[in-house]
């Protein structure tokens, strides 16, 4: 996996090769691997922007053991990236080198694992986590309703919304490292800061434990409804978008800086700065990933020229141009 803004290298080791000129050679022997391994898999259908090129390889593991076995066999030189709901990501048009790991239903469970505690699979959505907590009378996790992603993604990114962030509620997470080893990391070991963690590169979060505090399900549900209504009213949720584009600089709100720089509605190709919320970029229907990323860079330039503030990308940009 990567940090926001990292560019995955397109090394020779990362690309599929041909065996005898007939078939694409898998990155690991297929025998004993129970999950689905696909060469040249389109990624655009899995992202909110609906743009971008294919993965050299897409691996959808059957379960944790399958993922461990796969990564243990994988050449350490081959990049590994996890893909959740694709909500906070630009997949570049040249595709993603190496292996993209997509966690399916086996990783999407949420269980009551202790007093005021939930154990959540890395592929579980924020909505499912918050709804399960509500039903169990566990308060404090309502904000996860407002994060459009999966547990693996928002644990890595210290995702947050409406005044709270993952660092406030995470106890620990189970992680499979690039070499296939299984480790448990506490919240302290992740060294959380704003939209950042120290999770090792190539590591995949397969589960996490969250802890809340006692609450009434009706009150928890009302807060979740408030968050949902606020998102619907202020964000372009019914468009092809990618969530918040830029981090909020210290002492500023990114959307206000973008608006002040005159970027509301600004377009490049098929990409546009949302007129509803200026910290969102949208695909109007014909955008390429290059359009979207290029528009984001144009916005950064205009904001810097107008305000002297250099915006940092919050959306991950991955793959080859």
Distance between CA atoms of 300 and 312, rounded to whole angstroms?
A: 8
* CB 119 within 8 Å of CB 169: no
Catalytic choice (87, 125, 207, 244) = 244
Phi then psi dihedrals of residue 74, to 5 deg: -75, 140
HEC string of the chain equals CCCCCCCCCCCHHHCCEEECCCEEECCCCCCCCCCEEEEEEECHHHCCCCCCCEEEEEEECCCHHHHHHHHHHCCCCCCEEEECCCCCEEECCCCEEEEEEECCHHHCCEEEEECCEEEEECCCEHHHHHHHHHHCCEECCHHHHHCCCEHHHHHHCCCEECCEEHHHCEEEEEEECCCCCEEEEECHHHCCECCECCCCCCCEEEEEEEECEECCHHHHHHHHHHHHHHHHHHCCCCCEECCCCECCCCCCCHHHHHHHCCCCCCEECCEEECCCCCCCEEECCCCCHHHHHHHHHHHHHHHHHHHCCCCCECCEEECCC
To the query of whether residue 195 is one of the catalytic residues in this protein, the response is yes
To the query of whether residue 320 is one of the catalytic residues in this protein, the response is no
Distance between CA atoms of 191 and 61, rounded to whole angstroms?
A: 28
Catalytic choice (60, 68, 142, 314) = 314
Torsion of CA 60, 293, 192, 109, to 10 degrees: -30
Known catalytic residues? 195, 244, 314
């Amino acid at each position: 996996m990567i940090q926001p803004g990292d560019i995955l290298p397109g090394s020779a080791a990362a690309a599929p090769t041909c065996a005898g000129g007939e078939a694409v050679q898998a990155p690991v022997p297929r025998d004993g691997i129970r999950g689905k391994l696909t060469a040249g898999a389109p990624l655009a259908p899995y992202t909110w922007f609906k743009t971008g090129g294919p993965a050299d390889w897409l691996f959808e593991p059957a379960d944790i053991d399958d993922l461990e076995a796969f990564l243990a066999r994988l050449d350490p030189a081959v990049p590994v990236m996890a893909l959740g709901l694709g909500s906070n990501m630009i997949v570049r048009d040249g595709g993603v080198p190496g292996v993209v790991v997509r966690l399916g239903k086996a990783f999407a469970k949420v269980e009551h694992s202790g007093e005021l505690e939930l154990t959540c699979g890395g592929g579980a959505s924020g909505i499912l986590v918050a709804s399960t907590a509500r039903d169990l009378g566990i308060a404090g996790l309502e904000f996860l309703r407002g994060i459009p992603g999966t547990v693996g993604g928002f644990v890595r990114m210290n995702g947050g919304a409406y005044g709270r962030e993952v660092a406030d509620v995470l106890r620990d997470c189970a992680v499979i490292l690039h070499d296939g080893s299984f480790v448990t990391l506490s919240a302290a070991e992740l060294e959380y800061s704003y939209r950042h963690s120290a999770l090792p590169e190539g590591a995949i979060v397969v589960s996490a434990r969250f802890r809340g505090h006692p609450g009434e399900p009706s009150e928890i549900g009302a807060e979740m409804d408030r968050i949902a209504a606020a998102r619907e009213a202020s964000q372009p949720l019914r468009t092809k978008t990618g969530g918040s584009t830029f981090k909020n600089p210290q002492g500023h709100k990114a959307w206000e800086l973008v608006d002040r720089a005159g970027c509301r509605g600004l377009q490049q190709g098929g990409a546009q700065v949302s007129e509803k919320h200026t910290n969102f970029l949208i695909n109007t229907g014909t955008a390429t990933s290059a359009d979207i990323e290029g528009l984001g860079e144009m916005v950064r330039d205009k904001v810097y020229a107008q305000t002297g503030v250099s915006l940092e990308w919050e959306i991950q940009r991955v793959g080859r141009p």
